[in-house]
Homo-oligomer: A and B are copies of this chain.
Amino acid sequence: MATLKDVAKLACVDVSTVSRALSNTSYVHPETKKRILAAVKKLSYHPNILAKALREGKRHTIGIIIPRLHLTVFGAIAQGIEEAARKKGYSCIICHTEDDSEIEKASLTRLRNGLVDGIVVAGTGFNNHLIRDIHASGIAITQVIRRQDSSLSSVLVDYRKNGYEAAKYLRNKGCSNIGLINGPMTLAPYKERYDGYLAAAHEFNMPVITAASKLPVNTLEYGYKAAAELLKRNPQLDGIMAAVDAQGIGAMRLLKEKAIKVPEQIKVISLTGHIIGSMLETSLTAMELPSNEIGIKAALMNIEEIEAPDGQKPSAQTLVFPCQLIERESA
C-alpha cells in the first residue's frame, strides 16, 4: 500500500502539501495539485483511515450490539442502522450477544478501546454500569428497543400500550382466556408488555395466563414450547399474544400440530411484527413496528451525539414509536 510519503516523493512536494491537496483544506497551486493527483493515480494511493482517525480523534465508526441478527427485529434494525451510518460516512462494527451478558461485556470492552465513536445497543440488562462508564468516557450511547437506563438516549416502542391494545383487540374479537408468551421481565420491553396485558386483564376481568421458557427468547422454538405451556395451564385458552414474531410462528406451528384452528378456536397476535407476517400461510395479525426506521433514527441520534461539540452534548433524548395494529388472518 502506497502512503502519503510515497505520493509526496513522486510529486516532489512535502507530505503536508499532499495532505492539503487531497483534503481541499487550503489552496494549492493548480500545477502542484495536478502533479499530486497524477502521483496518487499512478500509485493507486488510498489514505489510511486508521491513521487519519487516530490523528483526528474520530473513528467514524459506530458499534452495534444486539442479541441476534437472524429472524429477529434486531436484524432489520441493524440494517437500518448500517444504512443510515453509511450515508453519513460511518462504518458499523457489529456484535451479537445471544443475550449472554459475558459476551456482551467482552464486546463492550473491545468497542470502548478506541474502536468506535458511539454505540447503539439492545442490551441484556446486566452491564448497565459498564455502559454508563463507557458513556462517561465520551462515547455516545443510544439504546434501542430495550431501555435499561433512563439517563441515556433511547429509541423505543411503546410496549405498554402495545400489550394493552393487543389484549383489548383480542377481547373485542371475543376472546376471554388470553395467554401471553413473554420473555425475561428483567428486560424493559417484556416487563412493559406484561404491564399492559395485566392492565387489560384487570379491566376486562380476564384471567392472567403467561408462559415463558428457558430457550433463547427470540426463537421459533420458544414460541412452540410456551404455547404448549399456555394450553396446559388453561384448556379454555382462546387467544395467544406472542411477544415477538418468531414466537408467534412457533405457536401457530404447535396449534397446527394439535389440530387447533387459527383463528376459529384460538386467535394469535404478535406484539413485534416486522416483515414476515403477511406472507405466512395463515398470515399473522400483529402490532407492527417500523424496524428499518427505528434503526435509522437510532443511528442518526447516535451520530448527532458523536458530532456535537464537547461541552454541548445533547442531554438524553427519547424517541418513542407507536405500533400499528395490522389485522390479518390469525386474529
Whether A137 pairs with B50 at a CB distance below 8 angstroms is no
Whether A91 pairs with B93 at a CB distance below 8 angstroms is yes
Whether B115 pairs with A1 at a CB distance below 8 angstroms is no
Whether B79 pairs with A96 at a CB distance below 8 angstroms is yes
A46-B113 CB under 8 A given contacts A69-B69, A70-B275, A280-B281: yes
**A70→B291 CA distance, assembly (Å):** 11
The reply to whether the CB of A242 lies closer than 8 angstroms to some CB of chain B is no
Whether B224 pairs with A49 at a CB distance below 8 angstroms is no
**Interface residues as binary, A265-297 with B (CB distance below 8 Å gives 1, 0 otherwise):** 000000000011011111100000000000000
Distance to closest chain B CB from A263 (angstroms): 13
Whether A275 pairs with B71 at a CB distance below 8 angstroms is yes
Interface centre among A68, A250, A275 (most CB of B within 10 A): A275
Chain B residue, CB-CB nearest to A64: B94
Query: Which B residues are CB-close (under 8 A) to A160?
Result: none
Whether A281 pairs with B279 at a CB distance below 8 angstroms is no
**A249→B279 CA distance, assembly (Å):** 7
Whether B115 pairs with A279 at a CB distance below 8 angstroms is no
Which listed segment binds B: A104-112, A142-150, A194-202, A311-319? A104-112
Whether B138 pairs with A1 at a CB distance below 8 angstroms is yes
Query: Which B residues are CB-close (under 8 A) to A64?
Result: 94
Which listed segment binds B: A12-20, A51-59, A151-159, A230-238? A51-59
The residues of A with any CB-CB pair to B shorter than 8 Å are: 1, 44, 46-51, 53-54, 59, 61, 64, 68-71, 75-76, 78-79, 82-83, 86, 91-96, 103, 106-107, 109-115, 133, 137-138, 220-221, 224, 249-250, 252-253, 256, 275-276, 278-283
Q: List 22 A-B contacts (CB under 8 A).
A: A46-B109, A46-B114, A47-B113, A48-B54, A51-B54, A69-B79, A70-B75, A71-B71, A75-B75, A82-B96, A86-B95, A91-B110, A91-B111, A91-B115, A92-B94, A93-B94, A249-B280, A250-B279, A253-B279, A253-B283, A280-B281, A281-B281
